[in-house]
Amino acid sequence: MYWEKEVETMDRSKLEAAQLVALQDTLIKAEKSYYYGKTFQEKGIGVSSVKSLLDITKFPFTTKDDLREHWPYGFTAVPKDELVRMHSSSGTTGRATVVFHTAKDIAVWTNLLARCLYMAGMRKGDIFQNMMTYGLFTGGLGFHYGAEKIGALVIPAGAGNSKRQIQLMRDFTTTAVHVIPSYALHLSTVFDELKLDPRKDTSVKIAFLGAEPHTEKMRKKIEEIYGYKAFNSYGLSEMNGPGVAFECPYQEGMHIWEDSFLVEIIDSKTLQPVPDGEEGELVMTSLQKEGMPLIRYRTKDLTRIIPEPCACGRTHRRIERIKGRSDDMLILKGVNIFPMQIEKKLMDIPGVGTNFLIILTREGYNDDMTVKVEVGKQYFSGDLKQLEKLKKKIIEELKGEILITPKVELVEPDSIPKGEGKAVRVIDNRKE
C-alpha cells in the first residue's frame, strides 16, 4: 500500500517541522539564482526572515511572466555544468518557460512518481504503456522513470497511432496505461472499428489520466468503457511535472506530497490566503529542487484544500480536482494554449485583420479548434488560390506556435461580432 510509509504517514507536526527545514534550505539555494538573489536583496528578505512556515508570506509571488522575462537561466541556482535536463511548458508570447533539473532533482522526481504509481496499485511485474508525448513536455518521461523505479516493464509508446496502441496492449498484455482522457475516449471508437471489446480483449487494470482537465463524469465514462480503475493526477512543469499530487485508492481528492511542496491557497484577486476548505488559486513552493527552486509560484489553477483526514492513512493533505483557471489559458489535446499566442502570430501575417475568434468543439471524443480570422477584402475578389495560400500560411504559423493543427476559416472584415467591452476571443462549445 505504501511506497515510503514513514514519509507518507508522517505525523503532521513532524512533517511541518521537516517542511520548515526544507524551506530554509530552499531559500539558501534560491538566493544563488540571479532572480531571487536580486529580489531578496532589494526587499531585504532571506532565510533569516523565516522562523515558521507562515513566514513564507513575507516573500513575493513568482509568476510565469517572471520566468519568461528571465529566460533562459535567470532562475537557475547551480552552475550550468550541474544541470542534466531541461523541460519546457508552452507560453503566451512565443517564448516558452523552461525548467532545469540536476541529477538529484531527477531522482527526487522519479521517486515521487514511483510513490504515486505504487499508491494507485502498480507493482513490479506490471506492464506499463505510456501513451503520452515524450520530449520537452514533462508527462512522458516523468511517468516513464517512475514506472521503471517500481520495476514495471515500460512500453514508451508515445502519443497517437491508435491501432498500434491497441496492438501493443494486446501483444504485450499491458496492465497499466498513462493516457490523456479525451484520447482514451477516442481510442474506444477505434476498438469499435476493430470489433474489439477493451474489457475482454485487453489486460489493462489501471489507467492514469493526466495532461488535461476532466470531470468526474468523464472519468466514470472511461471506467465504464474499459473496465479499469482510472486515477486522476496533477502536475506542472515548474514544480517537476506530473507527480505533484495524485489520487489514492479512495479517490477523494489528490494527495500533494508535502515533503516536496509547500502549498498555499490564495484569493486570486486580493492575493490573501483563504482558509482550508475554501476555493482559491494554488500557490506552490518547491522544497527539494536544486537546479531551479521556485518560491510562491502562482499556478493559476483553482482548487481547495480538503481539510479532513484521508481514510487511506496518509497525512499529506489533499486538493480537490482542479476546477479551472484564474487566467485565460485553455487546454486542447493536452497542450496549454493562450489566445495571446494565436493573436501574436496572426498579427504578424500580412493581410490578416485585427479580429479573430477561437471556437472549440467536440466531435465524438475528439476536441477540435477552429480559428475564424478576418482578412482583407481583396482575398474575396474571386482568386481562390490567393485565399487558400493565405489559409495554408496561417495554419502552418499557428501549428508552429501552439503545436497542434487548428482548422482555419477566413472571413470578410467586420463579419465577426464585436462587443462593447472586452473582445470575446474564445467560444468553448465542448460538452461533457
Ordered domains of the chain (ranges, CATH)? 1-327 (3.40.50.12780), 332-428 (3.30.300.30)
Per-residue pLDDT of 283-334, as tens digits, reads 999 999 999 999 999 999 989 999 999 999 999 999 998 877 766 778 888 7
| Ranges 35-49, 105-119, 286-300, 344-358: which has the least confidence | 344-358
Most confident of the following: 107-121, 219-233, 310-324, 378-392: 107-121
* Per-residue pLDDT at 217: 79
Q: What are phi and psi of 89, to 5 degrees?
A: -115, 160
pLDDT confidence bin for 92, thresholds 50/70/90: very low
Residue type, 422: K
CA atoms within 13 A on the CB side of 80: 3
* Per-residue pLDDT at 423: 57
| 421, pLDDT greater than 50 | no
Cell of 90: 508552452
pLDDT confidence bin for 100, thresholds 50/70/90: very high
Query: Is residue 157 within 8 Å of 107, Cβ to Cβ?
Result: no
- In the predicted model, what is the mean pLDDT of the chain? 91
pLDDT confidence bin for 348, thresholds 50/70/90: confident
Residues 372-398 have a mean pLDDT of: 89
List, as one string, the DSSP characters of 151-213. TPEEE---S--HHHHHHHHHHTT--EEEE-HHHHHHHHHHHHHTT--TTTS----EEEE-SS-
pLDDT confidence bin for 135, thresholds 50/70/90: confident
* Per-residue pLDDT at 132: 92
* Per-residue pLDDT at 221: 87
Query: Is residue 355 within 8 Å of 423, Cβ to Cβ?
Result: yes
- Strand pairing category for 241-247 and 229-236: antiparallel
Residues 156-185 have a mean pLDDT of: 94
> How many helices (H) and strands (E) would you count in the chain?
11, 21
- How many residues appear in the chain? 432
Q: What are phi and psi of 382, to 5 degrees?
A: 120, -15
* Per-residue pLDDT at 205: 98
Query: Which residues, at least 6 apart from 379, have a Cβ–Cβ distance to it below 8 Å?
Result: 351, 386, 387, 390, 410
* Per-residue pLDDT at 341: 80
Pick 413 or 60 by higher pLDDT: 60
Q: What are phi and psi of 292, to 5 degrees?
A: -150, 70
Q: Which residues pair with 130 in a beta bridge?
A: 178
| 90, pLDDT greater than 60 | no
* Per-residue pLDDT at 298: 97
| 89, pLDDT greater than 80 | no
